Amino acid sequence: MGQYIELTKDNFDATVKEGVSLVDFWAPWCGPCRMLSPVIDKLAQDYAGIANICKVNTDEQEELSAKFGIRSIPTILFFKNGEVVDQMIGATSEQALKDKLDSLK
């Protein structure tokens, strides 16, 4: 059973450097982020072994948020082999996220 990866400045680069990664920048106080949380959990199960499904708590990882210019949350960045290839800002549907992940495989 897959589970999302909690990213910090210590494990971020090593986690996203190979393959496809979805990184959800969120905060516990953010309503749309909480709405998206079950979708992220489901994607982590559905894409176990296929893509890294990750979360960054912007309150705890301000350095990462600044590095990627995160100004509003939720912001989802898509990485392929360590490079940002796309982003989505705001709560979005599970299907939209799956479509993007599938296009990057």
Tell me the catalytic residues. 30, 33
Q: Closest by alpha carbon to 56, among 39, 38, 75? A: 75
> Which contiguous run of DSSP H or E holds residue 56?
strand 52-57
Helix, strand and coil content of the chain, in percent to the nearest 5, comes to: 35, 25, 35
